[in-house]
Amino acid sequence: MGQVTITRASTEDAQRLTRLCHVSSSYQGVYAEAISTVELTPAYITQHLVFLAAGQDAHLLGFYSLIRDPPELDMLFVADEAQGRGVGRLLVDHMIEQTRQSGLAGVRVVSHPPAEGFYRRLGARRIGTLPAKPPMTTWERPELWFTIT
């Protein structure tokens, strides 16, 4: 994979972050509707902590967005070609450090069901289940919590 750099996203990154969401194979089939209208706008990037992971060639490998109040991991996406290469773990580790620096006690994650195991392997614990919210989500979603020490 080479070196991965994590930096704060700028408003100029809005389109490429949105595109990464829309082409993600994680949100196909039954999950496609939930991501079809997602748009990371320049205002969203300014308002929240949004960080991107890039390779040596500045190729976008993934990103996350953290809402500070209340603390919640709003989005985390890893490019299909970077899946299984440690990028997601780097992003979560970075998110936890940002949370710690902000003085927050923890972070809520409302997980995409197939991603629950990933978050749990990284230390999140399940605290509940959120019901479906048709038409966008027709499935229950695991609610997780990362405790920040």
* CATH code: domain of residue 97: 3.40.630.30
Domain that holds residue 67: 5-147
Sequence-distant contacts of 84-92: CB under 8 A, at least 24 apart:
85/1, 86/1, 86/4, 87/1, 87/4, 87/53, 87/61, 87/62, 88/62, 88/118, 89/122, 90/4, 90/6, 90/53, 91/6, 91/51, 91/53, 91/62, 91/63, 91/64, 92/64, 92/119, 92/122
Q: How many domains does the chain have?
A: 1
To the question of pTM greater than 0.95 for the whole model, the response is no
pLDDT in tens, 19-78: 999 999 888 877 777 788 899 999 999 999 999 999 988 899 999 999 999 999 999 999
